[in-house]
Amino acid sequence: MSELRFNELRGEQVAYAIQRQDRTFLPDRAHCPLDPTQPGGPPTEIPLPEFEIVVFDNRFPAFESPAGAAEVVVYTDEHDGSFGLLSPGRAEALMWVWRHRYMELGSREDVQYVYIFENRGIEIGVTLHHPHGQIYGYPFLPPVAALELDADTRLGGCAPCLMLETERVDGRRIVYENEAVQAHVPYAARWPYEVHLSLRRHCPSLLECEPEELRLLSVGLQALVRGYDALFERPMPYVMAVHQAPTGGRAAGHGHLHVEFYPPLRDASRLKYPAGSEQGAGTFISDVLPEDAAGALREAIVRGG
Q: Residue 223: which of 182, 187, 192, 188 has the closest Cα?
A: 182
CB of 254 to Zn ion, least distance (A): 10
Q: At what angle do helices 211-231 and 88-106 cross, to 10 degrees?
A: 120
| One character per residue 222-261, x = contact with Zn ion (rule: CB under 5 A) | ---------------------x------------x---x-
Question: Which of these ranges, 17-25, 46-54, 72-80, 167-175, lies near Zn ion under the rule CB under 5 A?
Answer: 72-80
Rg (CA), the chain: 19
Asked if residue 146 binds Zn ion (CB under 5 A), the reply is no
- For residues 98 and 27, what is the distance between their CA atoms, to the nearest angstrom? 27
Minimum Å gap between C-beta 115 and Zn ion is: 11
**Catalytic site residues?**
132
Q: Which of 58, 163, 59, 157 is nearest to 105 (CA)?
A: 58
Q: How far is the CB of 148 from Zn ion (least distance, A)?
A: 5
Q: Which stretch binds Zn ion (CB under 5 A): 28-36, 64-72, 180-188, 210-218?
A: 28-36
**What one-letter code names the amino acid at 267?**
D
Rounded to a whole number of angstroms, the minimum distance from the CB of residue 291 to Zn ion is 21
Kindly state whether residue 79 participates in binding Zn ion, applying the rule CB under 5 A: yes
From the list 93, 158, 252, 296, which residue makes contact with Zn ion (rule: CB under 5 A)?
158
Closer of 165 and 292 to Zn ion (Cβ):
165
Does position 132 bind Zn ion by CB under 5 A? no
Instruction: Evaluate whether 221 touches 259 at the Cβ level (below 8 Å).
Output: yes
Nearer to Zn ion, 121 or 160 (CB): 160
Instruction: Restricting to residues 161-220, name those near Zn ion by CB under 5 A.
Output: 161, 202
Q: How far apart are CA 186 and CA 162, in angstroms?
A: 12
Cα–Cα distance for residue pair 287/151, rounded to 1 Å: 26
**Shortest Cβ 268–Zn ion spacing (Å):** 26
Virtual torsion, Cα 275, 172, 174, 116, nearest 10 deg: 20
> Could you give the maximum distance between any two Cα atoms of the chain, in Å?
61
Residues contributing to the site for Zn ion (CB under 5 A): 32, 34-35, 79, 130, 158, 160-161, 202, 243, 256, 260
